[in-house]
Amino acid sequence: MKCLKIILYTASLFFSVTNAEASDVNVLNYGAKGDSTTLNSAAIQKAIDACNKSGGGKVIFPAGKYLSGTIVLKDNVTLHLDKNAVILGSTDVNDYENKDPFNDGLGTPVGWALVVAIDARNVGIEGDGIIDGQGSKLKERQILTDTRPEGQRWGRRPFLLRIVRCDGVTVKGVTLNYSAAWTSHFFKSKNILIEKVKIVSVGVAHNDGIDMDGSQHVRIKDCDVVSGDDALCFKTTSSTMACSDIVVTNMRLKSNQGAIKMGTESMAAFENIKISNCYIYDTNNGGIKLLTVDGAHLRNIEISDITMVNVKTPMLFRLGSRLSVFRKDQDQQQPTGSFENVVVRNVKAQASANAQLKPPSGILITGVPGHDITNLTLENIEIDLAGGGTAENARQVVPEAIDKYPEVKTFGPLVPAYGVWARHVKGLRLININFNLANNDVRPALVCEDGKDITVTGWKIPAATGAEAIIRLENVLGADITKIEVKGEAASFVKVEGSKSKNINVKNNVTSKDIRKTIDTVVDNE
């Protein structure tokens, strides 16, 4: 009986395997040619359609270079790229279709793509091969006839991969290279796994790496992204579906813009998202940027165990009121959103001296009048900074920029604190934060403007000379400043300004003998 069970199990296993293999198809059998010059869009689509009609399976690309325009994945179909197999994007923009048009955060019409899945189930891309969009070559050819300004014509360039309203998506093992626009865009999709994917996408504008747009139940792990724009980006270009239940681990990220970013487009919520164990390097416009400016509720986010090397402006947190609409025929303008219950912990960063703000600063946090960033916790943070701030810099007035595009440079040319500058905040907790200065900086380590219920504890503040204050609080209602170790020389440890400032508790701190006052209160300066 036991032997019979084994035979039946083996036969059953053999049947299921051979049945799965029977539905796999080879693109060569449908007329595709891997010669890098034949346009294979129609042949590849025939292979995909045949695989779908047979019940699903793999569409196999043997070694070769398969030139193609837009191809559309169907239910239960996985593209399998063998080693040395390359899908090459056509360099003719007319070979691409826009299956789901929308406008990006700059208002540009976009949505064309090389590989697309629309309203599909159980689709994927796997293997040791490459999808190469040939972005620079496509642009070079496009601009010979498209004479519009760059800000308008770039949107005609295709994304490399677009997943739209799909359920069950796997992208595993493949390399995604040189997109002509965003590299991968996952819109309103669910149950997504992105694993061991390598992205090298530089050379033209807007080369985002991974864009998660209103998608849910997502796992992203063990990926290596080199991006000409944002590397790992969360968007909600529609108000009807949140980015939620997302876990990201073990990423290497290099970016010409932001490494980890939420909210360039932000109509629906960002919630229940965890990101951990990431190495960020050589990044030009922010290591961690969490933004909501188009009505989204950004909440319950946890980011931990992050290392940054040579990163311009390590962190930006922004709640604003730009209130853009990206699918104007499907959506309507939202009221200002919210930013609450976010934790960022265990971050070690080496900030670039050549930053967007000069002299550079470590962390920018700002809401807008009447809309506070609420319950943001930063814990166990260490940042190396260039320093160089002057007494004049320490009194820099920062624009509100309520309805502007949310970037670090929006608040330039600099901010009045070298460490943390915070404005329009409530329940801000700053715990165990250390800064290291390469040069003297007489700006405060912390400036907080229009704050409520602020906790500052466990800081180690480096030696500097000539500062008016180590910490400056302007119109802050309730603050506890404790267990701070301060070196160097300054006129005061804490300077309190503004008629709304009350209940400021400063105790159990260790300050240098060259700090002339523990607390200096001025309330008539408005």
> Which residues are 271's β-sheet partners?
244, 299
Residue 271 lies in a domain: no
Write phi, then psi, for 155 (nearest 5 degrees): -65, -20
Q: What is the C-alpha separation between 170 and 444, in angstroms, rounded? A: 48
Give the dihedral sign, CA 409/410/415/421.
Answer: negative
Structure tokens given for 396: 């820099």
Question: What DSSP letter does each residue of 237-296 carry, written as one string?
Answer: SSTTS-EEEEEEEEEEEEESS-SEEEEEEESS-EEEEEEEEEEEEEESS-SEEEEE-SS-
DSSP string spanning 432-490? EEEEEESS---S-SEEEEEEEEEEEES-EE---SSEEEEEEEEEEEEEEEES-EE-S-E
Q: Is 459 part of a structural domain of the chain? A: no
Each residue of 180-211: pLDDT tens digit?
999 999 999 999 999 999 999 999 999 999 99
**Is residue 97 in some structural domain?**
yes
- Strands of 5-63 (E only): list them: 25-26, 35-39, 57-61
CB 474 within 8 A of CB 450: yes
State residue 7's pLDDT score.
31
CB 517 within 8 A of CB 493: yes
Total structural domains within the chain: 1
Phi/psi of residue 213, nearest 5 degrees = -120, 100
Answering whether pTM is above 0.85, one says: yes
What pLDDT sits at residue 11?
33
Q: Please indicate, yes or no, if residue 288 is contained in any of the structural domains.
A: no
pLDDT of res. 105: 85
Q: In the numeric block, which tokens belong to residue 309?
A: 């090397």
- Residue 345: CB atoms within 10 A of its CB come to 17
Reduce the DSSP state of residue 94 to 3 states and report it. Answer: helix
Number of helical (H) and strand (E) elements in the chain, helices listed first: 4, 39
Q: Which domain holds residue 193?
A: 23-229
Q: Is residue 131, in this structure, part of any structural domain at all?
A: yes
Nearest Cα neighbor of 283 from 264, 261, 305 is: 261
Q: Is residue 424 one of the residues assigned to a domain?
A: no
Say if residues 321 and 294 touch (Cβ distance below 8 Å): no
Q: How far is residue 31's CA from residue 43's CA, in Å, rounded to a whole number? A: 5
Helix spans in 30-144 (H) = 41-53, 135-142
The pLDDT score that the predictor gives to residue 2 is 36
* Terminal alpha carbon distance of the chain: 91
Does residue 366 sit within a domain?
no
Specify the pLDDT at position 523.
Answer: 63
Q: Which residues of the chain have pLDDT under 70?
A: 1-22, 523-526
Interval 428-476: pLDDT, tens: 999 999 999 999 999 999 999 999 999 999 999 999 999 999 999 999 9
Strands (E), 256-396: 260-266, 270-283, 288-292, 297-311, 315-319, 338-351, 363-366, 373-385
Supply the pLDDT for residue 524: 54
DSSP symbols for 190-252: EEEEEES-EEEE-SSTT--SEEEES-EEEEEEEEEEEESS-SEEEEESSTTS-EEEEEEEEEE
Query: What is the distance between the alpha carbons of residues 117 and 364, in angstroms, rounded to a whole number?
Result: 38
211: which strand partners? 185, 233
CATH number at residue 219: 2.160.20.10
Q: Indicate whether 368 belongs to any domain.
A: no
3-class SS of residue 159: strand
Beta bridge partners of 187: 164, 213
